[in-house]
Amino acid sequence: MNLVPDTSVVVDGRISRRVDDGEYDGATVYIPEAVVGEIEAQANSGRQTGWDALEELQRLVELADDGRIGIEYVGERAGEDDIRRASAGAIDAIIRDVATEFDAKLLTSDIVQAEVAKGKGIDVEYLEPLERESGELAIEQFFDDLTMSVHLKEGMVPMAKRGEVGEIAYQAIGDEELDADTIHEWANEIVTTAKRDDDAFVELSEEGMTIAQVRDMRIAVSTPPFSERPEITAVRPIVKTTMDDYEHADELRERLLERDRGVLIAGAPGAGKSTFAQAVAEFLADNGNVVKTMEKPRDLQVGDEVTQYTELGGEMSKTADSLLMVRPDYTIYDEVRKTDDFEVFADMRLAGVGMVGVVHATRPIDALQRLVGRVELGMIPQIVDTVVYIEEGDVETVYDVTTEVKVPEGLMEEDLARPVIQVRDFATGAPAYEIYTFNRQVVTVPLEDGEEAESGVDRLAKQEVEREIKAATRGPVEVDIRGPNEAVVYVSEDEISHVIGKGGGRISDIENRLGINIDVRTLDERTAAPAGASAGGSEPSGDVVTPEVTSRHVILPLSGDRSGETVEVQADGEYLFTATVGRGGDIKVSRGSAIAEELERAIDRERVISVVPNE
């Protein structure tokens, strides 16, 4: 009996099995080199089918050595073009030619191949594809009701993450180290089950990595060279929740049903983000919404009414294009990580689709920060209007995101008004953060009670002033923030003229860019200034004066003959500047200068102006 198997039968291991059963005893098996080439290409690309077929070829050689069968490799090897055109029948045609040449029976589990061979008058035996019973995988012995993930690696004892949501511990669950043969056996079982069972599929198959979804388990099988040793990681959800199980459930339900929204579900790994996303998906579907998911891999545990999509043609953007034709009310995007993911999320949201994205973040505000730089700042509230932060399996924080044209908190000048993203606590309505553009940079300022809000703005202003001044000088720079829109800059004496620039042009440009008034002084002045100068003021000292403001000057009249004397001018005891008393017994400061503007602001605020001898 002469037999020619095609690739499908070699992958199934059907020939060696029938030899063992005695059905093919004494047969001569002609294996086309085209089959070997296709098998090798599959194995090189990391596909499990290739490795299964190689094991079958090795078993056939052992049977030949035992005298049970004869085996010959014949025909031409398939070229790269043939392998690329395998789906179009290029390799099948070569196999049929071999069967004709050796007057052999063609063995196949491919119904198309069988029908074509019959049409050509070739003796063919069609073997029904194997249907294996769906049983428990060997790795399922390591799972219990509190096991979230199992980690199996050659040379290591079995490990698992176990515990209640939010209290997961990584622990050993066995005493014996696993060997390569055991890992390989379990990996083969996983991949075979994923290919054969109706409730399982292979999500990703690349060289060194296979990701399979088997029932409620997502299983990753890695092998060298991708990982240094074979490893199996299996993850499954340990709880399934509904919206009723979470804090703020009523408010969130009402918010989600009010209109289509852009929601980011944020939290640390293992916090329960995907579990909450599943609850949201089923709640929306139960309330008459068409809900789809975008996942890679697909592992959300949702009801049958929610269709789960993965990458189309290797790109989520193509999946999004297809979903826009379907027009879902809401799409659950698990997980949004890369720039491409955020762009797809934004495009779908701006197209009017309600979007719920799952992102990794260690703080609630970090979820919004992930959007900064990836989408236009002013569009963020249109893309994301709700942030839900999950911690230890529960809703910890909910933010409401809006935009408003206003002067940012901590700034005073009306001409500093700009679009500001306001992030408020959803439960209390209290402002938590403001996000806006400051000096061409996007900044996030926390808005908290007390001194922290001021320190946040002050730190931001100080950082920007330092950056601008350092660009104009090579020496040391020190900055004191004296108010919401006032700063004093200290530089070395020989750098002052360079920082100020001709006619004050350079410092004016910096002031205009930052929207803050800057007084430039020497580093020696900062050392000589009274303690109150950098500490926010103290009790007034020296002679209190009543300033006179004219069209050209701010005049500080002094009593007695003090012409030529060097004095310090203070406001509420806070150092403003050093001056020389003029021949008329007064101090005149030209309006329009930085010093005059600082002095006028102090006068407008009704601060006490005093003059102290410069000792």
- Mean pLDDT estimate for the chain: 83
Q: pLDDT value at position 468? A: 84
CATH 3.40.50.1110 fits 138-235, yes or no: no
Estimate the crossing angle of helix 451-470 against helix 505-514, to 10 degrees. 140
pLDDT at 294: 94
| Coil, strand or helix at 198 | coil
In CATH, the architecture of 243-446 is 3-Layer(aba) Sandwich (3.40)
- Asked if residue 466 has pLDDT above 70, the reply is yes
- Among 221-230, 416-425, 436-445, the minimum mean pLDDT is found in 436-445
Higher-confidence residue of 166 and 244: namely: 244
- The pLDDT, as a whole number, for residue 470 is 83
pTM: 0.55
* 450 pLDDT higher than 50: no
CATH number for 460-528: choose from 3.30.300.20, 3.30.420.40, 3.30.750.24, 3.40.50.620.
Answer: 3.30.300.20
Q: d(Cα 340, Cα 345) in Å, to the nearest integer?
A: 9
CA atoms of 151 and 404, how far apart (whole Å): 49
Per-residue pLDDT tens over the stretch 98-124: 889 899 899 888 888 888 889 889 999
Cα distance between residue 114 and residue 99, in whole Å: 12
Same fold, 2-126 and 243-446: yes
The stretch 295-318 carries a mean pLDDT of: 87
| Burial (CB count <10 Å: 0-12, 13-18, 19+), residue 615 | exposed
What is the tens place of the pLDDT at every residue in 339-393? Answer: 899 999 999 999 999 999 999 988 899 999 888 888 888 899 999 999 999 988 8
Contact 333/265 with Cβ under 8 angstroms?
A: no
Quick: pLDDT tens for 557-606.
Answer: 887 778 878 888 888 877 777 788 887 788 888 877 777 878 888 887 77
Return the residue matching tokens 């094991």: 55
For the chain, the domains span 2-126, 138-235, 243-446, 460-528, 536-613
Q: Which residue has the tokens 């000792």?
A: 615
One-letter amino acid identity for 332?
Answer: I
State the chain's maximal CA–CA distance in angstroms.
130
pLDDT one-digit tens code per residue, 486-501: 788 888 888 888 888 8
CATH topology of domain 2-126: Rossmann fold (3.40.50)
Query: Looking at the chain, how many residues does it have?
Result: 615
454 falls in which pLDDT band (50, 70, 90)?
A: very low
Per-residue pLDDT at 123: 92
